[in-house]
Chain A
Amino acid sequence: MTKPTRTSRTRDEDKLDTTTSPESAQLYDPDNQDLSQGRTSSLNRWDTPWFNWKLISGTAIVGIIVLIGIFGRFLWDTELVYVGKCPLNLPPVGFENSRGQTGTWSHPFGTENSGRDMLALTIIGAPNSLLVGFVAATIGIGIGILLGFISGFIGGLTDDLIRLLAGITITVPSLLVLIIIQSLVEQIGLFTMATLLAVFAWPGPTLVIRGQVMSMRESGYVQMARLSGASPLRIMFGEIMPNLLPYLAASFIGSVSGSILAAVGLETLGLGPQRVPTLGGTLYFALEAAALLRNMWWWLGIPIFILSLIFMGLLLINLGLDEIANPRLRKATE
């Protein structure tokens, strides 16, 4: 399900040019050249690529949504997220619905036509949607790292097999398959859904990581480690992987976005968890009940706004990590 992210495209292109691999970037980094030319004096503890405004603001946006999910449930009655717990069709505070009812502070974000509270849906649904993305991406990237390293480092028949498997999986119309699977599964939970999404989330990272590992395995420090008698496992995960961490993080965030996208798509089709509140599920109910026609803009608007925030946050994190992983990008934005 993972769509090519800006990061992965950049790295795909970069891998053709060995001078831009993380390892070679260390050797030829203009920043490092600057350092060698006497700019050491200008360094202080704030002068680190990790203090990237995109990364920080993206993390803040996603963090706020996570915090709302963690602390919101202590501050708001999350039981209101279920059918029949509230008056129907109330607008948010300060607004009026088509029947002339005004919003109340008892339900500040309003309610929908089955009596679900929109604030409770936000508190529970937004983190749930994030959770599906993170779990699916964790599984997908985990498998991608494992297979990508094995494939890229060992090569030969193993590489051929893994590449073939990944290639086949990529060509499968994942959304179609997911729709069929979801419609066959009687009751689907968040983790089941995340696992299903992960089935299609690994090939992209696998192939890209493989490319990175292949470009690194002949580099000097890896050769040095080999000569020192380090085991392949030690070389893969002790020597190469630390150099790929920012890049893997960016891939991971891209994968999270892709998984959330797929999950929301399925949920909006009514194929998500039946009773577990999610943003896509809320969209499904709103579309099914003609929310727009009924002027219940809040029913669609709130989940769309939260989803926009999530994607914006993840995109900023991704861009930030991209810049950290690729000094040339960082230099360009300075």
Chain B
Amino acid sequence: MANIRSVYSIRPQLTLTVITLLFCCHLGFYGCGPDPTPQATVESKSQNTKAKIAREDTVIFDYDGGPIPDPHNLNPLVPSPTGPGMRQCVWEPLFSLNYETGEIAPWMGESFTPNEGLDVWTLKIRAGVKWSDGEDFDAEDVIFTLNTLLNDTTQSLSDAASMQQWVKQVERVDSLTVRFDLKAPNPRFKLDYFSVRVGSSMVILPQHIWVEKDPFTFKFYDPKKGWPIGTGAYQLITATENEFTFRRRKDWWGAEVEFRDLPVPEQLVWMVTGVEENRALLAAENQLDSIMDITLGAFESIRSRNPNVIAWKDKMPYVWLDPCPRQLSVNHTVPPWDNPQMRKALSSIIDRQQVVKIAYEDTSFPSKTIFVEYPAMQPYINVVEDLWINPNSDVPTGRSLIESNGWRLNNSGFYEKAGKELSLSIQTHEAYIEKRRIAEVVVEQLRAAGINASTRAIAGATWDENKAFGNFEAVMDWDACGSVNEPWLSMNRYTQQFLRLVGQRSPGNNNYVRWSGAGAEEYSQIVAEIGVLPLGDPGIEPLVAEAMKIFMTEQVVIPITQARKLIPFVTTYWEGWPTAKDNNYHHPPTWWMSTHQIIQRLRKAER
């Protein structure tokens, strides 16, 4: 049986591609796929890492975010991406929102309840939770983590801005109970920050290791000391730019206290797979078990080669609706886009139906608002029906807005004012083909309407930094992401408390478009009012309508499409992957912190 290294072996079916790639390499095409040569690896002292784990005992996950810039920096607080897999199998959440059941399932937390005024929350930790080095996970760890975030005056650590927005102080009640005193009532406190609402939630730090460490520079990686540690059922074994490998721990607390069984997979691998061709070939060859996202055409091709490939839905369009709609964000400090009319012009010109047709091959649909179109969000989307975005382009309106600001078409077919051509440079994350394809279509539409638009794919880390520090004219992003069953979280991201000057980091990537002014102030006040209302309060809808009227009038961001993700799973070695029909025990993304739930359900395929 092939071991994990065999994922790099060349099979006869790959011959044609290999020939092509060799041709490309002959043309000077270096580095045309992920580097199959593992980097120098450091092995964990605490595990028997020499023993090879068979392929059928290993689950291999795809990672499409490109090579990890610093694989040995596993500090979960710093804004750069940490290693893939850490949140999925090493660091566990306190609670986990299940999109399918709508419930918040307890994990390391047992309960998290508010007082009547919603401004005091009490967390009870499950008894018996232990760190992988044997230390107890307790209230001290939670308090230490919260105080670290509350003491971050720069607000650059993950969750620092949001904790400082809400938390006045945290107190130890007993070894398993923590009391949170909030600055204002917050009915969503547990859901927003501790329940893997979207992607991840706060990582609790082991105080006994982090105490007296600098949270900004500590890398939390030292294999000789067994770092990083976590509470999850797996331990990191190797971390390279292209691959993270984890081995199952026999002493996982969850099995010992009979909270859950020990997961079946003995080894988990997250592999940087590069371009879609690589991912598709690996899946077709059963050398991947889970793919993050893939285009429809590639999925159909994999299925024609490997009948064991499934997706969330078993029929067209196969996809799952991701909670993060895609949008064009323009820097409000860069003229002429500091003018709301010019931003509205961009929005009017964009033909979202065409974006869906080309970038998604008709597997998604245009956005009406900044919100994800989940059933629970419909009331808040419907309440702003008069503000819904036209899915088709309205070029005459867009042009008249531009011309009303003194721009005139020149001989090149582009608008010009005072000798300067109207241009727009859109930055995209180089690893995300979906956003790049959206940007390519938008560029053509804007150019046809007279805006000399261009798009540029840049390295992920640079893209993140450019956004955070305001070094961009426009970006294709998903940063209104947050709300899944109520509107406040997404709306809160564009409030004035997060406004920073260009050159200063936007806290938590909130309001990095740097929206300011009277409208922004008024909007922020309304959002603050929404924030203290209980979930489902009838007073929320009119406030949402009022705030979104300001938001859309000023066209703070330009919503484009809903993001439907085609997430294939390969069932050759592992079964139990979530599917919409018959097995929707959980939503399907395997890059979220809730992946612990999916790993628990995996069983060896019976073939």
The docked-state distance in angstroms from the alpha carbon of A296 to that of B277 is 12
Q: Assuming the A-B contacts A175-B28, A268-B29, are A294 and B298 also in contact, with contact meaning beta carbons closer than 8 angstroms in the complex?
A: yes
The docked-state distance in angstroms from the alpha carbon of A83 to that of B447 is 11
Q: Assuming the A-B contacts A269-B31, A270-B457, are A293 and B437 also in contact, with contact meaning beta carbons closer than 8 angstroms in the complex?
A: no
Are B277 and A262 closer than 8 Å at their CB atoms?
no
Chain A CB within 10 Å — which of B300, B440, B441 has the most?
B440
List of A residues within 8 angstroms of B357 by Cβ: 84, 88
Task: Mark out the residues of chain A between 277 and 306 whose CB falls within 8 Å of any chain B CB in the assembled complex.
Answer: 280, 283, 287-296, 300, 304
Asked if B516 is at the interface of the complex by the 8 Å CB criterion, the answer is: no
Interface secondary structure of A, over-half rule: loop
Contact of A290 among B16, B23, B298, B441 (CB under 8 A): B298
Asked if B600 is at the interface of the complex by the 8 Å CB criterion, the answer is: no
Task: Mark out the residues of chain A between 92 and 113 whose CB falls within 8 Å of any chain B CB in the assembled complex.
Answer: 98-99, 113
Task: Mark out the residues of chain A between 256 and 271 whose CB falls within 8 Å of any chain B CB in the assembled complex.
Answer: 261-262, 264-266, 268-270
Are A289 and B23 closer than 8 Å at their CB atoms?
no
Per-residue contact bits, chain B 424-437, to A (CB 8 Å; 1 contact, 0 not)? 01000010010001
Are A98 and B24 closer than 8 Å at their CB atoms?
no
Are A268 and B32 closer than 8 Å at their CB atoms?
yes
The docked-state distance in angstroms from the alpha carbon of A83 to that of B443 is 9
Q: Assuming the A-B contacts A113-B297, A274-B456, are A293 and B24 also in contact, with contact meaning beta carbons closer than 8 angstroms in the complex?
A: no
Are B358 and A288 closer than 8 Å at their CB atoms?
no
The docked-state distance in angstroms from the alpha carbon of A88 to that of B454 is 22
Tell me, rounded to whole Å, the shortest Cβ–Cβ distance linking B447 to chain A: 8
List of A residues within 8 angstroms of B16 by Cβ: 292
Tell me, rounded to whole Å, the shortest Cβ–Cβ distance linking B275 to chain A: 5
Are A265 and B28 closer than 8 Å at their CB atoms?
yes
Please, which residue of chain B has its CB at the minimum distance from the CB of A311? Answer: B27
Are B280 and A290 closer than 8 Å at their CB atoms?
yes
Task: Mark out the residues of chain B between 272 and 310 whose CB falls within 8 Å of any chain A CB in the assembled complex.
Answer: 275-277, 280-281, 284, 295, 297-298, 300-302, 304-305
Asked if A10 is at the interface of the complex by the 8 Å CB criterion, the answer is: no
Are A275 and B454 closer than 8 Å at their CB atoms?
yes
Task: Mark out the residues of chain B between 28 and 51 whose CB falls within 8 Å of any chain A CB in the assembled complex.
Answer: 28-32
Are B27 and A114 closer than 8 Å at their CB atoms?
no
Task: Mark out the residues of chain B between 409 and 468 whose CB falls within 8 Å of any chain A CB in the assembled complex.
Answer: 425, 430, 433, 437, 440-441, 443-445, 454-457
Are B276 and A290 closer than 8 Å at their CB atoms?
yes
Contact of B298 among A88, A115, A268, A289 (CB under 8 A): A289
List of B residues within 8 angstroms of A50 by Cβ: none
List of A residues within 8 angstroms of B304 by Cβ: 98
Are A83 and B441 closer than 8 Å at their CB atoms?
yes
Tell me, rounded to whole Å, the shortest Cβ–Cβ distance linking B488 to chain A: 36
Are A264 and B457 closer than 8 Å at their CB atoms?
no
Task: Mark out the residues of chain B between 470 and 523 whose CB falls within 8 Å of any chain A CB in the assembled complex.
Answer: none
List of B residues within 8 angstroms of A99 by Cβ: 300
Interface size on B, residues (CB 8 A): 43
Please, which residue of chain A has its CB at the minimum distance from the CB of B427? Answer: A186
Are A113 and B295 closer than 8 Å at their CB atoms?
yes
Asked if A223 is at the interface of the complex by the 8 Å CB criterion, the answer is: no
Tell me, rounded to whole Å, the shortest Cβ–Cβ distance linking A140 to chain B: 16
Are A88 and B358 closer than 8 Å at their CB atoms?
yes
Please, which residue of chain A has its CB at the minimum distance from the CB of B358? Answer: A84
Are A304 and B358 closer than 8 Å at their CB atoms?
no
The docked-state distance in angstroms from the alpha carbon of A85 to that of B437 is 14
Interface secondary structure of B, over-half rule: helix
Per-residue contact bits, chain A 168-191, to B (CB 8 Å; 1 contact, 0 not)? 000000010001000000110000
The docked-state distance in angstroms from the alpha carbon of A275 to that of B444 is 10
Contact of B361 among A113, A186, A269, A295 (CB under 8 A): A113
Asked if B382 is at the interface of the complex by the 8 Å CB criterion, the answer is: no
List of B residues within 8 angstroms of A295 by Cβ: 301
Are A294 and B297 closer than 8 Å at their CB atoms?
yes
Per-residue contact bits, chain A 39-66, to B (CB 8 Å; 1 contact, 0 not)? 0000000000000000000000000000
Contact of B30 among A113, A175, A293 (CB under 8 A): A175
Contact of B28 among A88, A89, A264 (CB under 8 A): A264
The docked-state distance in angstroms from the alpha carbon of A292 to that of B21 is 11
Asked if B17 is at the interface of the complex by the 8 Å CB criterion, the answer is: yes
Are B455 and A293 closer than 8 Å at their CB atoms?
no
The docked-state distance in angstroms from the alpha carbon of A82 to that of B304 is 30
The docked-state distance in angstroms from the alpha carbon of A292 to that of B24 is 14
Q: Assuming the A-B contacts A290-B277, A294-B297, A304-B23, are A84 and B31 also in contact, with contact meaning beta carbons closer than 8 angstroms in the complex?
A: no
Are A287 and B354 closer than 8 Å at their CB atoms?
no
Task: Mark out the residues of chain B between 246 and 294 whose CB falls within 8 Å of any chain A CB in the assembled complex.
Answer: 275-277, 280-281, 284
Are B28 and A261 closer than 8 Å at their CB atoms?
yes
Q: Assuming the A-B contacts A113-B361, A187-B456, are A268 and B27 also in contact, with contact meaning beta carbons closer than 8 angstroms in the complex?
A: yes
Q: Assuming the A-B contacts A283-B24, A288-B277, A290-B276, are A265 and B358 also in contact, with contact meaning beta carbons closer than 8 angstroms in the complex?
A: no
Please, which residue of chain B has its CB at the minimum distance from the CB of A264? Answer: B27
Per-residue contact bits, chain B 366-379, to A (CB 8 Å; 1 contact, 0 not)? 00000000000000
Are B297 and A262 closer than 8 Å at their CB atoms?
no
Are A293 and B302 closer than 8 Å at their CB atoms?
yes
List of A residues within 8 angstroms of B29 by Cβ: 265, 268-269
Q: Assuming the A-B contacts A175-B30, A261-B28, A269-B29, are A288 and B455 also in contact, with contact meaning beta carbons closer than 8 angstroms in the complex?
A: no
Are A186 and B425 closer than 8 Å at their CB atoms?
yes
Tell me, rounded to whole Å, the shortest Cβ–Cβ distance linking B15 to chain A: 11
Are B301 and A287 closer than 8 Å at their CB atoms?
no
The docked-state distance in angstroms from the alpha carbon of A97 to that of B456 is 31
The docked-state distance in angstroms from the alpha carbon of A288 to that of B295 is 11
List of A residues within 8 angstroms of B437 by Cβ: 114
List of A residues within 8 angstroms of B17 by Cβ: 292-293
The docked-state distance in angstroms from the alpha carbon of A268 to that of B22 is 12
Please, which residue of chain B has its CB at the minimum distance from the CB of A87? Answer: B357
The docked-state distance in angstroms from the alpha carbon of A241 to that of B584 is 79
List of A residues within 8 angstroms of B284 by Cβ: 293
Are A114 and B32 closer than 8 Å at their CB atoms?
no
Q: Assuming the A-B contacts A83-B358, A89-B297, A268-B29, are A292 and B454 also in contact, with contact meaning beta carbons closer than 8 angstroms in the complex?
A: no
The docked-state distance in angstroms from the alpha carbon of A287 to that of B295 is 13
Task: Mark out the residues of chain B between 549 and 567 whose CB falls within 8 Å of any chain A CB in the assembled complex.
Answer: none
Asked if B154 is at the interface of the complex by the 8 Å CB criterion, the answer is: no
Please, which residue of chain B has its CB at the minimum distance from the CB of A1? Answer: B28
The docked-state distance in angstroms from the alpha carbon of A304 to that of B295 is 24
The 6 A-B residue pairs with the shortest CB-CB distance, nearest first, are: A265-B28, A290-B277, A293-B301, A290-B298, A268-B29, A290-B276
Q: List 19 A-B contacts (CB under 8 A).
A: A83-B440, A84-B357, A84-B445, A98-B304, A113-B361, A261-B28, A270-B457, A287-B275, A288-B277, A289-B277, A289-B297, A289-B298, A290-B281, A293-B280, A293-B284, A294-B297, A294-B300, A295-B301, A307-B27
**Chain B residues in contact with chain A, CB under 8 A?**
16-17, 20-21, 23-24, 27-32, 275-277, 280-281, 284, 295, 297-298, 300-302, 304-305, 354, 357-358, 361, 425, 430, 433, 437, 440-441, 443-445, 454-457
**Chain A residues in contact with chain B, CB under 8 A?**
82-85, 88-89, 98-99, 113-115, 175, 179, 186-187, 261-262, 264-266, 268-270, 274-275, 280, 283, 287-296, 300, 304, 307
Given A88-B361, A270-B430, 18 further pairs, Cβ under 8 A = A84-B358, A84-B441, A84-B445, A88-B358, A89-B297, A98-B297, A98-B301, A114-B437, A187-B454, A261-B28, A262-B28, A265-B29, A269-B30, A289-B297, A289-B298, A289-B433, A290-B277, A294-B298
